[in-house]
Amino acid sequence: MELVFKALADETRRSVLDRLRERNGQTLRELCEHLDMARQSATQHIDVLVRANLVTVVRRGRERLHYLNPAPIHEIEARWISGFDRPRLDALSAIRRQAEQEYAMTTVPTYVYVTYIHATAEQVWRALTDADLTARYWGHANVSDWQPGSPWEHRRTDGSGVADVVGKVLEAEPPTRLAITFEDSPHEDREPSTVTFLVEPHQDIVRLTVTHERLANLDMFNGISRGWPAVLANLKSLLETGSVLPQSPWEMESSDA
């Protein structure tokens, strides 16, 4: 947490985060356009944010795209803020969300979330693809043979066999990369969003990056922004402690998307 607070203490770095909150996925050039300093100085500020895990860099061809990573903020909120005055904070957040929707973005940004898990890449891959494990930390069983081109289903665990989300496996490179389409409303006339899981091992730690793209609208972006942190916190807890967190895991229902 020390790196996070240090990163947030600087006005320039807070400005970079504000820019990414307004429009995620910017290049270094785009970020530098709004900073009154040399490119090298701006790069140093961004590097501090990356080391604090507040910004994630995703390579797309020759470009490096920068995404706001909410994981550290979520940890601060869970550890310190939530215990003080949750009802009032929720009310304020609801007002802010309403204001944001009134000034809805013309382009819904990509959502990126990064977490670090004390586990092997193989363990994380199994947690993403094993139906019984996903049922434990996600509240739904993710069912597929996980071969490129195969279907997958996000099935309820009540025995009904109902799938609230369906999709297709786009890429599967065990144990480091999995990409799927994500159709929470398969009968609606819209393109499915896509989710990519990138598993990067380093010694006894895994860096798991989840990228959710091609979101249909701002409501869906807000829904998954609340959901992915809860799902991945449960996954992390299950792999590191053997049990999920006390709160109910997030369930990706169509009403949230």
pLDDT digits (tens, 9 = 90+) for 110-135: 899 999 999 999 999 999 999 999 99
Query: Which helix H or strand E contains 219, and what residues bound it?
Result: helix 218-241
**Rounded Cα distance, 109 and 118, in Å:** 30
Residue spans of the domains in the chain: they are 2-68, 70-103, 108-256
Residues 202, 236 contacting (CB under 8 angstroms): no
Q: Is residue 114 exposed (0-12), middle (13-18) or buried (19+ Cβ within 10 Å)? A: buried
SS3 142: strand
Mean pLDDT of 3-8: 90
pLDDT score of 252: 42
Q: What is the pTM of this model?
A: 0.67
CA distances (Å), origin 111, targets 45, 63, 157, 251? 22, 18, 27, 17
SS3 112: strand
| Domain at 2-68: CATH architecture | Orthogonal Bundle (1.10)
pLDDT score of 219: 83
The CATH class of the 108-256 domain is alpha beta
In the predicted structure, residue 105 carries a pLDDT above the cut 80: no
CA distances (Å), origin 218, targets 26, 107, 119, 120, 257? 18, 9, 34, 35, 9
Which position has the token pair 């609801």?
A: 94
Which position has the token pair 């490129």?
A: 148
Mean pLDDT of 70-81: 68
Percent of the chain with pLDDT over 90: 50
HSE on the CB side for 210, CA within 13 Å?
A: 24
In the predicted structure, residue 251 carries a pLDDT above the cut 80: no
pLDDT digits (tens, 9 = 90+) for 164-223: 999 999 999 999 999 999 997 665 677 899 999 999 998 889 999 999 999 888 888 888
Do the domains at 2-68 and 108-256 have one common CATH topology? no
Which position has the token pair 């770095």?
A: 13
pLDDT digits (tens, 9 = 90+) for 17-66: 998 988 888 999 899 888 888 889 989 999 999 999 999 888 877 888 99
